A = this chain, B = another copy of it.
Amino acid sequence: MDILDALRSITGPDHVLTGPDMAGFATDWVGKYQNTPLAAVRPGSVEDVSQIMKLANDTQTPVVPVSGHTGLAGGAHAPEGSLMLSLSRLNTIREIKPDARLAIVDGGVVLEALHNAVAEHGLRFPMTFGAQGSCQIAGMLATNAGGSNVLKFGNTRALCIGIEAVLPDGRVLDLMSQLHKDNSGYDLRDLLIGSEGTLGVITGAVLKLVPAPAARATAMLALDNLTDALSVLNRLQEATGGTVEAFEYMPARYLTAVHTHFPDLKPVFDADHPVTVLAEIASTAPTDAQPDPDGSLPLVSTFEALLADAIEAGQIQDAIIAQNDTQRSQIWARREAAAEVCLARSPLVNNDIALPLDQVDPFLTRMTDELAALDPKADVLEVAHLGDGNIHYTVFPSDPALCDPIMERVEDVVREMGGSFSAEHGIGLTKLPSMQRRKDPVALEVMGQIKNALDPKGIMNPGKVLPT
């Protein structure tokens, strides 16, 4: 039997798309890579996925799992002759357990659909990022996505306690534990999380939920330097018991670019400051959300007092606190403009790097010198999840030929400072050269040994993550 007929007999003919019918699968959100698969197949059950993988394994057909197409590193690129395996029909929220604070979901559930479903129970799945309206849980897990609230809640890995996956030969791995403690053998869950579809297809997950916040307080802080910013972060964490949810660094040049790009967004402070930080704390305590007689929220008053102390200590130069949701949105708009502002010019070298928190400042200083030597005319725009040490460090070289040397130099400096060349977007295709150059060579060997053990025929999202 022809492989397409075999697929049709598994999923029904409507769910094996070829030719013009699979136009929606032609490229991902970034649009950098053109997909040329044999077909796109939409299984309707875990059993379908298992049968498809068995068929693919028997016929040595490469399979590229795809969920929301929103990855930034080409992890779902489908080469000639491959099958794209879409999770979009596996989109059932199997169960929400409010008392246990868990959601049990199919891999193809859209992140925002989960947000909305748990909100009805006064709960929150604390993972938010730009693509949430279309990205799916399985892709989020496969890339171990980050987002805006990693500082408080961790990355995707930290929010997942159970997983279900179909292995390259069709076996179904059932690790759908609902347990906070489960010490029974190797941690295969975390091996699959972040493996970017190269070890299996994630079909289900058990996710942690947290109470929805009762109150939030959001501020823009003006500071002299990043050392003070780190001290302020620690001060806020201690004083509030670790309730800082976002701590986002925007340097003066970034804000200037934002205000140029979006003239409606006026400067927040009268003067320019070397360092601006968006800080947000949140509380689930009803007492923090009960307005005082003067109408102010206790959480906001607490935040004001803490910031006043830091101003008195000379660590903060100026601060503005949002008094309502509209003001909060306006503050966030400056941070959320990052992609549009930073990707508006070409050529560019776009780095998604992570550093130890105390190395962010030395890195930026060092890179200023390095760039002065490599390309004195280069421009830089950076914006950072400072609380995570994660910098989106974009360089605009004066000459496209300088892109690679600059990228390598950034990697050099990051490595010397104990950082990572890849913080939250994954490796996919685009970071393979960096992976080859920068990853611990023994780790690369071990990854290869594991890949080979679990996918001896090499059919599972081939060519991604592991340099060859």
Contacting pair B183 A424 (CB below 8 A) = yes
Residue interface bits A312-337, CB-to-B below 8 A is 1, else 0: 00000000000000000000000000
How many chain A residues sit at the interface, stated as a range, is 35 or more
Complex interface: chain B residues within 8 A of A143 (CB): 183
Contacting pair B454 A446 (CB below 8 A) = yes
Complexed CA–CA distance, A424 and B99 (Å): 23
CB distance from A57 to the nearest CB of B (A): 15
CB distance from A115 to the nearest CB of B (A): 19
Name the interface residues of A395-437: CB closer than 8 Å to any CB of B. Answer: 418-427, 431, 435
Complex interface: chain B residues within 8 A of A179 (CB): 354-356, 389, 418-420, 423
Copies in the complex: 2
Complex interface: chain B residues within 8 A of A358 (CB): 97, 99-100
CB distance from A321 to the nearest CB of B (A): 19
Is A181's CB within 8 Å of the partner chain B? yes
Contacting pair B183 A423 (CB below 8 A) = yes
Is A150's CB within 8 Å of the partner chain B? yes
- Which one of B157, B174, B283, B442 contacts A241 once the chains associate, using CB atoms below 8 Å? B283
Complex interface: chain B residues within 8 A of A444 (CB): 185
Is A211's CB within 8 Å of the partner chain B? yes
Contacting pair A180 B389 (CB below 8 A) = yes
With A183-B422, A186-B195, A423-B182 known as contacts, the answer to whether A171 contacts B356 (CB < 8 A) is no
With A190-B190, A285-B238, A357-B100 known as contacts, the answer to whether A426 contacts B183 (CB < 8 A) is yes
Complexed CA–CA distance, A1 and B327 (Å): 76
Q: In the A-B complex, list the 5 residue pairs whose CB atoms are closest, starting with the nearest.
A: A453-B453, A190-B190, A178-B356, A182-B420, A181-B423
A-B contact pairs, 13 of them (CB 8 A): A99-B357, A174-B443, A181-B385, A181-B390, A182-B422, A184-B431, A185-B435, A185-B443, A185-B444, A186-B194, A187-B194, A190-B190, A446-B454
